[in-house]
A and B are shown apart, each in its own frame.
Chain A
Amino acid sequence: MRIHQQPAYVLHHRDYSETSLLLEVFTARHGRIGLIAKGARRASSRVRGILKPFQRLLIGWSGKGELAVLTGAEQDGPDTSLAAQALYCGFYMNEVLLRLLHRHDPHDALFEAYQNTLQRLRHDDTNEAVLRIFEKHLLRELGYGLVLDRDVVDRAPIEAQAVYDYIVDRGPRRLAHLELNLPTEGIRMRGASLIALEQESFAEAAMLRDAKALMRAALARHLGDQPLHSRKLFRRVVATATGDVMAEAGVDKAGG
């Protein structure tokens, strides 16, 4: 099987033998694939500088099975490196994708969402909101979309002022007055936060905090026990640089 000129992003690269690279690539039409890029680390390699994460590429490969062979790669569009905080967020996205995507499962809508998120990370300073929106799309594309628009018990639309108890597998349930002081089994959040996540527009910091707690719980079900390494990196940043932006970017908070 020979494939040509596919839009793709490198998710991860690893040195292989003396001069080659092992790549995990996210493609628009073929999903995540594993590739070996022979000779890509040679000084004379034409693809050495471009086989890097966050750069939109057009790639070709041949072979099937677990590892195919990269037959060509060119940069598609301008240099789209991420810098500073956005770079950490990019690592986080790539790690989540590596953990949750199976090889050869096409996810064209997710590819689109990934690409949009990279673009926003490059220009947007509210990294946290951008990541939450990506996570929402990711869950939906994987078939675990969250219910954000109605109460799962009475089907009533979400009310901004009400308080809900969100159980990840089921959805939000409006809490009665009497329940507000009692412990509940899900994640407790304001209706306004659910609406914000649904509409992808976060007006208040509290909405982002709620969205983070919800996404954290929803993703944890699929990520399993293995912690995300990129989260560990953020935790150190928060701990060492006081008032750091990553605390706001909110890819990590202790626990979970």
Chain B
Amino acid sequence: MNDITVLEALKQALRRLPGVGPKSASRMAYHLLERDREGARLIAQALTNAVERIVHCKRCNNLSETELCPICSSPRRDKSLLCVVESPSDLVSLDQSGVYNGLYFVLMGRLSPLDGIGPEEIGIPRLEALLDEGTVKEVVLATNLTVEGEATAHYIGDLVRARRIKASRIAYGVPIGGELEYTDRNTLARALAGRREA
């Protein structure tokens, strides 16, 4: 009886992963127990390590193994430039573009008043404290191009400008390799509105 409960507990635990329902959870559990016990140990160990050692960087709020993450502690980064993003994966994408050399702030979400997610839930007070330190000269608002992302950018933009710091929003338009014929009309409208001298 006892081992069945342990197995059930494992299935229940696996179901906490996004997109995993009862069936997938059960398949994963049997796979690990019957075919890959070593893998199961690795996963368990990796999860325990991650949960114990990964914290939020005290400056940028990103996930980090150290109190101050490698980006924030790097001497080569331009500390006067701060890019605000919604999630750690947004940060990785932007950083891989290779053209940005400033620091980041990760909100871990976006303003979504109808879901009860307000400024405090996404770490805006911490961002304000960071701005008040006085080293940041420009804030790049790189939240997503969704209604919530726009609201977040607007809200933070107000806070930034109230401190007499420059606020900029990432540009939007036709993607590289994109053909106008296949670009949706809202993107085209933005691309036209945001045109610049050639």
Name A residues whose Cβ lies closer than 8 Å to a Cβ of B.
Answer: 12, 14, 17-18, 49-50, 52-54, 75, 78-79, 81-84, 87-88, 91-92, 94-95, 98, 229-230, 232-233, 236-237, 240-242, 244
Bitwise interface map of B from 146 to 166 toward A, beta carbon under 8 Å scored 1, else 0: 110011001100110010000
B151's partner among A49, A88, A95, A229 (CB-CB below 8 A) is A88
* Smallest CB gap from A239: residue in B: B119
Report the minimal beta-carbon distance from A78 to chain B, rounded to whole angstroms.
7
* Smallest CB gap from B21: residue in A: A17
- Across the interface, do B154 and A87 meet the contact criterion of CB distance under 8 Å? yes
Selected A-B contacts with CB under 8 Å, 28 pairs = A18-B18, A49-B186, A50-B184, A50-B186, A52-B146, A75-B185, A75-B186, A79-B185, A79-B186, A79-B189, A81-B147, A83-B150, A83-B154, A84-B154, A95-B114, A229-B114, A229-B116, A229-B117, A233-B113, A233-B118, A233-B119, A233-B155, A236-B118, A237-B158, A240-B128, A240-B158, A241-B159, A242-B162
A49's partner among B117, B128, B162, B187 (CB-CB below 8 A) is B187
Report the minimal beta-carbon distance from A165 to chain B, rounded to whole angstroms.
34
4 closest Cβ pairs, A-B complex? A230-B113, A79-B186, A229-B113, A18-B19
Given A49-B187, A81-B147, A87-B147, answer yes or no on A14-B115 (Cβ-Cβ < 8 Å).
Answer: yes
B114: chain A residues within 8 A (beta carbon): 12, 91, 94-95, 98, 229-230
Bound form: Cα–Cα A25–B116 in Å: 19
Bound form: Cα–Cα A234–B115 in Å: 15
Report the minimal beta-carbon distance from A144 to chain B, rounded to whole angstroms.
23
Name B residues whose Cβ lies closer than 8 Å to a Cβ of A.
Answer: 18-19, 111, 113-120, 128, 146-147, 150-151, 154-155, 158-159, 162, 184-187, 189-190
Bound form: Cα–Cα A82–B147 in Å: 8
B187: chain A residues within 8 A (beta carbon): 49
Report the minimal beta-carbon distance from B34 to chain A, rounded to whole angstroms.
26
B111's partner among A75, A233, A242, A244 (CB-CB below 8 A) is A233
Given A79-B189, A87-B151, answer yes or no on A241-B158 (Cβ-Cβ < 8 Å).
Answer: yes
A18: chain B residues within 8 A (beta carbon): 18-19
